[in-house]
Amino acid sequence: MRTKFKKYKEEKESVVKRLEKECRDVRILKDNHATKAAKLDRENADLTLELAETKRELQDSNNAKNRADEKLQTLKKERDDLFGKVADAERAARIAQGRQQTVETEKEEVERHLAQVAAEREDLEKDKRDLEHILKHIIDQHGVSEKDDSPLAARKLAIQRRDGVRPGRQNMSNRKRQMEVENGRRVVIERAFKKETVDNKNKFADLLRKKNP
């Protein structure tokens, strides 16, 4: 009986020791698990912080990208506007150059026309001097009557008075024919001169209107 009790006691102690050992092992495992859990919690918290920081950085990056895109669009628009302004400036420069060439051409035309008018005027002045010379020659040869009220006779009388020639009555029929011829020629020349003067004024006015529309 004593032997059985001793054996039972030994078995009991062995079981107790084994259970105690298992309890210690369980506590160790529990502590290890708690340590690992705390470590995992810390790692999870760190990862959560890193994730939040990454999200903020990503949001900042997206915002920066959006701002960069907006700035790029603004720069593109400014570039297009500048290209448009350059094209407008080049077109305006071409138009101005064309107008300048037109003005230069019109100026040359006006100068040529003025030179032509001056030449024609000089020719008319020469014809006028020739007529004055012919008229003076007729007066010197035949004289003119103060009773003759024709425009040519009045002109001849004025020349006679200017030159101190006394009017006479000799060769009236011949002188009258010459007066009619000279008067007709003078009238034709004066009309042509007046018409040419009016035409020249109109042409010059047209050129000025083209130059300064």
Q: Return mean pLDDT, the chain.
A: 77
Q: Is the pLDDT of residue 95 over 60?
A: yes
46-61: pLDDT as tens digits:
999 999 999 999 999 9
Q: What is the share, in percent, of the chain residues with pLDDT greater than 70?
A: 61
How far is the C-alpha of 54 from the C-alpha of 59, rounded, in Å?
A: 8
For residues 65 and 147, which has the higher predicted lDDT (pLDDT)?
A: 65
pTM exceeds cut of 0.75: no
pLDDT the model gives residue 14: 84
Band the pLDDT of 78: cuts 50, 70, 90. Answer: very high
Q: Could you tell me which residues come within 8 angstroms of residue 11 by beta carbon, excluding any fewer than 6 positions away?
A: none
pLDDT the model gives residue 169: 43
Band the pLDDT of 67: cuts 50, 70, 90. Answer: very high
Cβ–Cβ < 8 Å for 126, 189 = no
pLDDT the model gives residue 151: 55
1-37: pLDDT as tens digits:
667 667 777 788 888 888 888 889 899 998 999 999 9
Q: Would you list the domain boundaries of the chain?
A: 111-211
Q: Could you tell me which residues come within 8 angstroms of residue 182 by beta carbon, excluding any fewer than 6 positions away?
A: 131, 134, 135, 138, 152
Q: Is the pLDDT of residue 150 over 60?
A: no
> What is the torsional sign of CA 113, 119, 120, 125?
positive
100-137: pLDDT as tens digits:
888 888 888 888 888 888 888 888 888 778 777 776 66
Q: Is the pLDDT of residue 171 over 70?
A: no
Q: What is the share, in percent, of the chain residues with pLDDT greater than 90?
A: 31
pLDDT the model gives residue 70: 95
For tokens 């001056």, the residue is 118
Band the pLDDT of 141: cuts 50, 70, 90. Answer: low
